[in-house]
Chain A
Amino acid sequence: MKVLWFAWLRTRVGTATEEVALPEGVDTVAKLLDWLATRSPGHAQALSQRAVVRVAVNQSYATADQPVHAGDEVAIFPPVTGG
């Protein structure tokens, strides 16, 4: 799975893109965030406030209970501030 980080989440995690192998049982957006938070202190810090974390699976907004699969592109970012 390809995981993309944007804006201040990217700066906390320390990378814009990472390739991860999903462990058994990590099959929803919520479980993915829980698991990613264990990867490093930076990840944990980035994901500590879930209310300000938005997730897109394959470039579409996703809900916490949405399923995720090995080949997905998952982007994690704060609320958008364009316009």
Chain B
Amino acid sequence: MAIRVQREDFDVGTELARLTEKRTDIGALTSFVGLVRDFGTPGGGGMTLEHYPGMTEKELVAVEREALGRWELSATLIIHRYGRLEPGERIVLCAAASPHRAAAFEACHFLIDWLKTRAPFWKLEDTAQGQKWVEARAEDETAAKRWRTGP
């Protein structure tokens, strides 16, 4: 179980290989990578990601813990970047390893949906009209609600 908040890029292959290294109990490993999309902004677009150091780490750990309580998981990893990011660059990696694929798939989906509505990050996007704070999307809240349990 690990979380990392960093400015630098990460290598997906290396990170996933490390997650299952010397393990023989893992039957399934799933991952999600979020990337900066180019919306056709003149000058290339890109964004700056701001976050709340301290709380970010706490929330990401809480997201992982929640996943561990819900599925049979052998390992999880969340890496989230901050700072200046250009189109095509990686923003986030979520990975879930389990003896079984269903748990791995569901947990990975949960990790990204849950962190999107909880981890204190804010995107400042470059647009043709200058820099603009991205507004939270109702779809993200709906996606996270899907994982809410109880009445």
Interface set of A (CB-CB < 8 Å, partner B): 4, 6-8, 52, 56, 59-61, 75, 77-83
Cβ A82 vs Cβ B55 within 8 A: no
**Contact size range, B:** 20 to 34
Q: Does chain A have a CB within 8 A of B54?
A: yes
Cβ B120 vs Cβ A77 within 8 A: yes
Pick from A60, A75, A78, A82: contact of B49, CB below 8 A. A82
Cβ B115 vs Cβ A82 within 8 A: yes
Q: Does chain A have a CB within 8 A of B109?
A: no
Cβ A83 vs Cβ B34 within 8 A: yes
Cβ A82 vs Cβ B58 within 8 A: no
Cβ A80 vs Cβ B136 within 8 A: yes
Q: Does chain A have a CB within 8 A of B51?
A: yes
Pick from B50, B121, B124: contact of A83, CB below 8 A. B121
CB-CB under 8 A from B112, the residues of chain A are: 83
